């Protein structure tokens, strides 16, 4: 019924994308604080 059971790979991709985005933003903020704003 739920799409999570129909497309587990897509949900996993979305989660990994969000995680990577968070890590990337933290990485940028750590290396260049003036660009974090």
pLDDT of residue 13: 92
Helix H or strand E segment including 32: none
What pLDDT shows up at residue 8? 79
pLDDT of residue 30: 85
pLDDT tens, position by position, 1-37: 565 566 778 999 999 999 999 999 988 888 887 765 5
What per-residue confidence (pLDDT) applies to 34? 72
- Residues 16 and 27: their CA atoms lie apart, in Å, by 16
What pLDDT is attached to residue 20? Answer: 94
What pLDDT was estimated at residue 28?
Answer: 85
> Quick check: 7 and 15 in contact, CB under 8 A?
no
């Amino acid at each position: 019924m739920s799409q999570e059971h129909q497309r587990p790979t897509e949900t996993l991709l979305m989660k990994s994308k969000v995680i990577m985005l968070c890590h990337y933003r933290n990485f940028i903020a750590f290396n260049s604080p003036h660009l974090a704003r």
